[in-house]
Amino acid sequence: MKQWIAFWNILTKDMRSYYLKPPNISWGLVFPLAWTAAFFVRSGSGLESVSSILPGVMGVSVLFGTTSMLAVTVTFEKKGRSFERLLLAPISLELLMLAKTAGAILFGTANAFVPVLIASFITDLGGVRWGSLVPVVTLIAVSSTFLGLFIAVSVSEVFEAQTFSNFFRFPMIFLCGLFVPVAALPIWLRPLSYALPLTYGADILHRSISGSGTMPTALNFAALSAFCVLLFAVSLRNIRRYWIL
Amino acid sequence: MEPIINVHSLSKSFGEVQAVRGVTFSVSRGELFGFLGPNGAGKTTTINMLTGLARPDRGSISIAGIDCPRNPKAAQHLMGIVPDESNLYPELTGFQNLSFCGALYGMKKTERVERARELLERFGLTEAADRKFAGYSKGMKRKLTIAAGIIHSPEILFLDEPTSGIDVASARQLRRLIAELNQAGTTIFLTTHYIEEAERLCSRIAFIVSGGIRTIDTVEHLMSGYEDRQIMHFEVSSVDDTLCAELGTEFPRFDCRTDSRNRICIESSETIAVGQIVRFFEDRGIDIYEARKIRPSLEDVFVQVTGIEAGAMHEVQEKSRQR
């Protein structure tokens, strides 16, 4: 019970201090929408193409909504030594890092549904499979957040966190099948696509919204879950190794 | 008194640098224990190992019977930790910071709100309770950081350089609060480079230099060998490198050192006849501006035990802080 009081307060503090602040909206919402608008205008297609673009917008929204703040805030707290306060609290490291990441997961998941809300006014979303869409958005948020955590633990400066985040995020927009199908990529690039968690999430997003997935849903969920476990475990190992000296 | 902290043969290296080497000591329940040493002596590394923020390479740590390296989270329930930097959250108010720190230790909302208000009043911060921590003065930040360390009423409080870098009035107030906490039964582990602070507050003191403990004793015992020592300070017009050596040759029973520019300190177990010293300086054309007889202090014990000039210790510490 005592650990959950700590968990809840870390989560609500982070939500208030970081995620519900205007600068985060620029990274989490405005940037993905602007990015997608550019794709939309460039493709020259009409409103009927909204459902084919929607998975990409959702994927980018989650990716930027989660990683934009987490990597920076953890690095910021580590540098200001307030993160030490959390490490010295009688709360297990696993629960502590779940508390630190829960805000980003919630924010990223909420971000993903903003484009869905907008799309609902301009196209028919009657064919969407919500039963797989909601869980996959959550899993993409978890994996992207843990990627942000992995980045945060690997750097020491705030600017490094931003640079390192972009090193992963921008290639993922093109490599993970969000807007360009993986099958359309040069064959030598495809292994890289399958080494990224968002590829599996994007495939389920396409299947859930437009029925155009290429891989079995169960395989996609399993791969995405495996990435979540792996990224969290590696981040915890790195915290124990480099932050608890 | 029953020991609440037991440390045996504790060692820690960072690469080639051995930060702590074979440190052994114990702290009794209710004691105010001072850990004194210059910058880089291993004080913070030792605190980090005691509190679970660093893993020892060798040795054992027991906190109230809990094996700390094996089970740091169980031991952390009993500890309050005030680091050498005021590391609270700049975006939260004083009240929110205390309440958040209480929550980290599992305190329920009503309990931590009440305790936060009580501490804000006790530390004279009630009026600043709703101001953001970022806008606090250095002294206020330090007070709030200490209040955050005791929000959950810990059995043991680790204070790392609590009065460093703050004004005299705030430092005095903090020392009074630390003494009150100890009188109320909290065991306090205090690291400081201010010797007079340790002398005033602590019941027992350990001198740590280059990662090793040179001596541990009560202030009275440490001082007892020094009460008969005669100490004279001379402020003179000029001091050169050979002056101490010449004094040593002329007066073999005197220990002589220069502890700052143009100041000479002479120590002896025998009475120092001022006249002959004055003549010594006059013969060399050196004017004496001031001659003072000094009561032996813990600083003199520290210098004797560690071989480090206390003034140099302060200087190094201040330079490192400015960096």
pLDDT tens, position by position, B151-168: 999 999 999 988 887 888
- Look at residue B314 in the predicted model and tell me its pLDDT: 53
How many residues can be counted in chain A?
A: 245
Report the interhelical angle of A50-79 vs A31-43 (nearest 10°): 150
Chain B CB contacts of A81 under 8 Å are 83, 85, 87
Contact assessment for residue B88 and residue B129, using Cβ atoms and an 8 Å cutoff = no
How many other CB atoms are there within 10 angstroms of residue B19's CB atom?
A: 23
| Interface membership of A244 toward B (CB under 8 Å) | yes
pLDDT at position B322 is 46
Nearest to A81 among B55, B83, B104 (CB): B83
For residue B262, name the pLDDT band (cuts at 50, 70, 90). confident
CB contact under 8 A, A90 and B55: no
DSSP conformation class of B132: B
For residue B34, give the 3-state DSSP assignment: strand
Residue type, B172: R
Pairing of strands B17-28, B3-14: antiparallel
Tell me, what's the pLDDT at B270?
81
- Judged by average pLDDT, the poorest of B51-60, B106-115, B193-202, B253-262 is B253-262
Q: Considering only CB atoms, which residues of chain B are within 8 Å of chain A? A: 14, 48, 51-55, 73-74, 76-77, 79, 81, 83, 85, 87-92, 100-101, 103-108, 148
Q: Which amino acid is at A223?
A: A
pLDDT > 70: what percent of chain B?
A: 94
Q: Is the dihedral of CA B308, B309, B313, B316 positive or negative?
A: negative
Residue B206 amino acid letter:
A
A9, A87, A92 member nearest B100 (Cβ): A9
pLDDT per residue as tens digits for the range A15-26: 988 888 777 766
- Chain A residue numbers with beta carbons less than 8 Å from the beta carbon of B73 are 90-92
Residue range A54-87, pLDDT digits in tens: 898 899 888 888 887 787 788 888 888 899 999 9
A window 187-226, beta carbon within 8 A of B: none
Same fold, B3-223 and B228-295: no
pLDDT band at B319 (very low <50, low <70, confident <90, very high): very low
Tens digits of per-residue pLDDT, B111-135?
999 999 999 999 999 999 999 999 9
Q: DSSP per residue over A92-117, as a string?
A: -HHHHHHHHHHHHHHHHHHHHHHHHH
Name the minimum distance, in Å, from the CA of B296 to any CA of chain A: 39
Distance CA B128, CA B151 (A): 17
Q: Which pairing describes strands B156-160 and B187-192: parallel, antiparallel, or unpaired?
A: parallel
For residue A56, CA distances in Å to A2, A32, A177, B69 come to 41, 9, 8, 47
Could you give the 3-state DSSP secondary structure of residue B26? strand
| Rounded Cα gap, residues A158 and A117, in angstroms | 33
Predicted local confidence at residue B323, as pLDDT: 39
Residue A242 has pLDDT above 50, yes or no: yes
Query: Average pLDDT, stretch B245-258?
Result: 85
B58-91 in b/e form (b: 16+ CB < 10 A) is ebebbbbebebbeebbbbbbbbbbbbbbbbbbbe
Partner residue opposite B81 with nearest CB, options A9, A80, A88: A88
Closest CA to B179 of B6, B27, B25, B31: B31
Instruction: Using alpha carbons, list the distances in angstroms from residue B80 to A188, A219, B12.
Output: 56, 48, 23
Q: What are phi and psi of B209, to 5 degrees?
A: -140, 135
pLDDT at B182 over 90: yes
Instruction: Give CA–CA dist B204/A195, Å, rounded.
Output: 59
pLDDT in tens, A158-196: 788 888 888 888 889 889 998 888 999 999 999 999 999
pLDDT at residue B121, rounded to an integer: 94
Q: What is the mean pLDDT of chain B?
A: 88
Q: How confident is the model at residue B316 (pLDDT cuts 50, 70, 90)?
A: very low
In whole angstroms, give the CA distance from residue B170 to residue B117: 20
Q: pLDDT band at residue B13, thresholds of 50, 70 and 90?
A: very high
CATH number of B3-223: 3.40.50.300
Q: Which of A3, A9, A95 to mutate to test the interface with B (most CBs of B within 10 A)?
A: A9
**According to the model, what pLDDT value does residue B52 have?**
92
Asked whether B148 and B183 are in contact (CB, 8 A), the reply is: no
The third-level CATH classification (topology) of the domain covering B228-295 is Alpha-Beta Plaits (3.30.70)
Question: What gap in Å lies between CA B139 and CA B165, rounded to an integer?
Answer: 8
Over range B212-228, report the average pLDDT: 84
Average pLDDT value for residue range B19-40: 92
Helices then strands, each counted (H, E), chain A: 11, 0
Tokens linked to B257: 């050192």
| Strands B263-268, B288-294: pairing kind | unpaired
Q: Which of the residue ranges A123-127, B71-75, B264-268, B294-298 would you say has the lowest mean pLDDT? A: B294-298
pLDDT over 50 at B307, yes or no:
yes
Within 10 A of A41 (CB to CB), how many other CB atoms are there? 9
- ipTM of this model? 0.86
Q: Of all residues in chain A, what percent carry a pLDDT higher than 90? A: 44
For residue range B63-85, what is the model confidence (pLDDT) as tens digits?
999 999 999 999 999 999 999 88
What's the pLDDT at B320? 45
* Least CB–CB distance from A5: residue in B85, B88, B106: B106
Q: How many CB atoms lie within 10 A of CB B246?
A: 13
Chain centroid offset of residue B94 CA? 26
Which residues neighbour A203 within 8 Å (Cβ) at sequence distance 6 or greater? A177, A213, A214, A215, A220
Inter-CA distances, B90 with A158, B86, B135, B315, Å = 17, 10, 8, 29
pLDDT in tens, A116-140: 888 888 888 888 899 999 999 999 9
- Is A13 part of the contact surface with chain B (CB cutoff 8 Å)? yes
Chain A contact probe: residue of B104, B141, B161 with most A CBs at under 10 A: B104
Q: For a pLDDT cut of 70, what percent of chain A falls above it?
A: 92
- Give the domain ranges of chain B: 3-223, 228-295
Q: Is A17 on the interface with B (CB under 8 A)?
A: yes
pLDDT over threshold 70, residue A27: no
**Nearest CB to A88; choose among B52, B88, B91:** B52
CB contact under 8 A, A90 and B91: no
For residue B182, give how far its alpha carbon lies from the nearest alpha carbon of chain A (Å).
22
- For B246, residues 6+ apart whose C-beta sits below 8 A from its C-beta are B284
| pLDDT at res. A18 | 86
Within 8 A of B103 by CB-CB distance, chain A residues are 5-6, 8-9
**A9 and chain B in contact, CB less than 8 A:** yes
Is A84 in contact with B89 (Cβ distance < 8 A)? Answer: no
B85 and A88 within 8 Å at the Cβ level: the answer is: no
Neighbours of B318 (CB within 10 A): 14
**Both ends of chain A: CA-CA distance in Å?**
29
